[in-house]
């Protein structure tokens, strides 16, 4: 499954009401570490299809969501399970660290 573009309009359905855990990546196109992290997240989305979802929130296009979750630095990864935040981290992370979050 490809990554899901998360917006304020679909956040409730795609993240809060998801039946599987959701790894949400808060990022921006101008962010170098965000671009470096993207292939790793695409790989996780593909390998973990049906087990987790990977959502992407562009902080420039969705400032309300960035504010709601207090995003001060990107990339920020937040794991949601059963509508609740269960884990989060900031900065470029290796795949093993991201998998450990899940």
Q: Could you report the per-residue pLDDT of 8-52, keeping only the tens digit for each? A: 999 999 999 999 999 999 999 999 999 999 999 999 999 999 999
The answer to whether the Cα torsion of 63, 65, 71, 75 is positive or negative is negative
CATH code of 55's domain = 3.40.30.10
Is pTM beyond 0.85? Reply is: yes
Task: Tell me the pLDDT tens digit for each residue of 40-88.
Answer: 999 999 999 999 999 999 999 999 999 999 999 999 999 999 999 999 9
Tell me, yes or no, if 34 is annotated catalytic. Answer: yes
Annotated catalytic residue 31: yes
CA nearest neighbour of 42 among 3, 97, 8 = 3
Q: Which of these is catalytic: 22, 34, 54, 79?
A: 34
pLDDT reported for residue 27 = 98
User: Residue 67 is part of which domain span?
Assistant: 4-101
* Count of the separate structural domains present in the chain: 1
């Amino acid at each position: 499954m490809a990554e899901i573009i998360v917006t304020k309009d679909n956040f409730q359905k795609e993240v809060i009401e998801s039946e599987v855990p959701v790894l949400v990546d808060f990022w921006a196109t101008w962010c170098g570490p965000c671009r470096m992290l993207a292939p790793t997240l695409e790989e996780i989305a593909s390998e973990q299809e049906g087990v987790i979802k990977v959502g992407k929130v562009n902080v420039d296009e969705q400032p309300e969501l960035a504010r709601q979750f207090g995003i001060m630095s990107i990339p920020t990864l937040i794991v949601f399970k059963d509508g609740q935040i269960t884990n989060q981290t900031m900065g470029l992370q290796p795949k093993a660290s991201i998998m450990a979050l899940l």
